[in-house]
Amino acid sequence: MHFSVITPTHNRHAYLPEAVASVRASVSAPLDFSFEHLVCENACSDDTASYLREAVQQPGPPLRVRPQPELLRAGPARNLLIKHDAPADAWIVPLDDDDLLLQRTLFHYGQQIEQHPNRPWLVADFLRVDQNRRYLPADDYYAWQFDSPQDMLRAIFRAEHFIQGNVCYGRELFDSVGGYDEQIEMAEDLDLYVRFLLAGHLPVICPHISHLHRFHDNNVSIGTDAGKHAQDLRVIYDKYAGQLGEMGMERP
């Protein structure tokens, strides 16, 4: 079993070293799996590139950096890492460049993968912290259990449930649905997971915390409120309106 943690980064030198350190701190025992951290240095103009040149020389689990001179959105940057650097049999774990992976996250995903063969993606819970890593009470994220992909899709398009970077999925599933949409501006991750569900794959709900999601003044998703989320849902719905309409789901 092999995990590829993927992180596009753009001018996040203030936070990226902690993200990298969190992946390197992963503990696999007693399971037998390998892992690596794939980082897309996405047209950085701060000290990120120089930090990464030093970081790849440090001992520990593999850190591989792909320089990208032209700024890409998150979806295309993730596609670049997965399609060019992740092994064909890898399990993909997205991690934003300002978040922190918990030490046993990969271990817990590995346990669930062993216990649920032929289930190609998994969803976990996560916690929110402020820019100084202080826990934000009453703001946790908890994944819901659904009986079918259709039930999960209905909850998503009713804006009752959402998914972010708290996932692990097989490279084969990623390839089969075409990867991240490179044209969509926001919610490209949710769009990918909608296609997983449309392909008939309900995620395994994992009883662990995957990562610490950091809130700060420069979050990419800053300003995303209920109205913006509803707009993103309409964009995604319109892409798959034929299939969703056949399931009896109304446009949000």
pLDDT score at 244: 94
What pLDDT score was predicted for residue 218?
A: 65
pTM score, two decimals?
Answer: 0.95
d(C-alpha 234, C-alpha 73), whole Å: 20
Q: Output the pLDDT for position 104.
A: 97
**Which has the closest alpha carbon to 9: 140, 102, 86, 99?**
99
The DSSP secondary-structure symbol of 69 reads: S
* pLDDT of the residue at 223: 47
What is the predicted pLDDT for the residue at 225? 60
Task: For residue 99, count CB atoms less than 10 angstroms from its CB and return exposed for 0-12, middle for 13-18, buried for 19 or more.
Answer: buried
Contact present, 198 and 149 (Cβ < 8 Å): yes
In angstroms, the CA 208 to CA 210 distance is 6
Contacting residues for 177 by C-beta, under 8 A, at least 6 apart: 192, 195, 196, 199
Identify the pLDDT of residue 229. Answer: 80
| Residue segments in the chain with a per-residue pLDDT below the cut of 70 | 218-225
> What string of DSSP letters covers 210-228?
EEEEEP-TT-TTTT--HHH
User: What pLDDT score does 227 carry?
Assistant: 77
* pLDDT score recorded for residue 20: 98
- Which residues fall within 8 angstroms of residue 96, CB to CB, at 6 or more apart? 7, 19, 165, 213, 220
Rounded Cα distance between 173 and 66, Å, is 23
